[in-house]
Amino acid sequence: MSILQKMGISKNSPSEVLLTSFNSKKDPHAAAVGVYLLNEKKVKMNLFGDTQTYKNLSNSGEAVANIVSDPELIIKGGLPDIFSPPLKTFSFETAKKVNAPYLSKADAFLEFEIKEMKEKTLNDDIGFSKYFETIGSVKNIEILNDNPHTLKRSDFYLIESSVLASKAISARKKGKKEKFNDLVDEISFFKQKSQKIAPKSRTSNLILDILDHLDGKINE
Ligand SMILES: Cc1cc2nc3c(=O)[nH]c(=O)nc-3n(C[C@H](O)[C@H](O)[C@H](O)COP(=O)(O)O)c2cc1C
């Protein structure tokens, strides 16, 4: 088993990480991205074409995948429209082998070099989106925190709510009001689940923050 597999990165299920990169002015950037294992030394991710992350990676050719066990970091990095400005709350340091930053709060991180970016089109229930299938060759792996951390059911509800919220924001931008409302209903279902298993928890409150933001945008 490779070290990437030992960290839980696998071929068929995305690992949610925070991808960190530099823009052309060398300002650090972070965004939530799903990463897959390709082989012992390579990882794969799908980057939407309209993101700063895609721009940074296509220009610099290098990035870091930060493994974090705190779901709050993932959702804040994935929903800048809701939790702005998330970048100010992250603290960055410079990676060792690539020209990219990493997060000081990461439990572990993978430094990688882009080997390939293939343009593809996704056609799903919110319409067409351009994305780039991106392959990275891992140059360095650092483990910063080996404290065990349990999985919580409410963490799952929060992460899934954030993925649905990211999709709802795209649906709204594409003018798909009905789809937007369906996605908000799905998040409400997870809110109820989370409030039942983890009432008044930080996780449940973050799902409420997501819903409060989206409810305000329903008719925009
Ligand atoms: C849990 C989660 C996973 C995400 N996974 C991806 C992904 O795999 N690819 C992607 O392009 N965006 C993904 N996103 C959306 C980006 O994180 C989001 O659009 C972010 O704002 C990136 O844009 P930026 O680089 O322009 O800041 C995800 C969002 C969340 C909440």
DSSP per-residue codes, 116-142: EEEEEEEEETTEEEEEEEEEEEEEEEE
pLDDT tens figures, 110-132: 999 999 999 999 999 999 999 99
Q: Which is the closest atom of ligand 1 to the Cα of 53?
A: 25
Q: Which is the closest atom of ligand 1 to the Cα of 48?
A: 11
Which residue's alpha carbon is nearest to atom 31 within ligand 1? Answer: 78
- CA 151 – ligand 1 centroid, Å: 22
- CA 51 – ligand 1 centroid, Å: 8
pLDDT tens figures, 138-175: 999 999 998 888 989 999 999 999 999 999 999 999 99
**CA–CA gap between residue 29 and residue 41 (Å, rounded):** 24
**CA–CA gap between residue 146 and residue 143 (Å, rounded):** 7
CATH class name, domain 3-143: mainly beta
**CA–CA gap between residue 208 and residue 218 (Å, rounded):** 15
- What's the number of CA atoms in the CB half-sphere (13 Å) around residue 133? 9
For 148-185, b/e burial (b = at least 16 CB within 10 A) is eeeeeebbbbbbbbbbbbbbbbbbbeeebeebbeebbe
**CA–CA gap between residue 74 and residue 151 (Å, rounded):** 15
Q: For residue 43, how many other CB atoms are within 10 A of its CB?
A: 21
User: Domain ranges in the chain?
Assistant: 3-143, 153-217
Beta bridge partners of 133: 46, 118
Which residue's alpha carbon is nearest to atom 5 within ligand 1? Answer: 33
- Tell which one of 21, 52, 53 to mutate to probe ligand 1, the residue whose CB is within 8 A of the most ligand atoms: 53
pLDDT higher than 60, residue 218: no
Rounded to two decimals, the pTM is: 0.95
pLDDT tens figures, 80-101: 999 988 788 899 999 999 999 9
At 217 the pLDDT is: 65
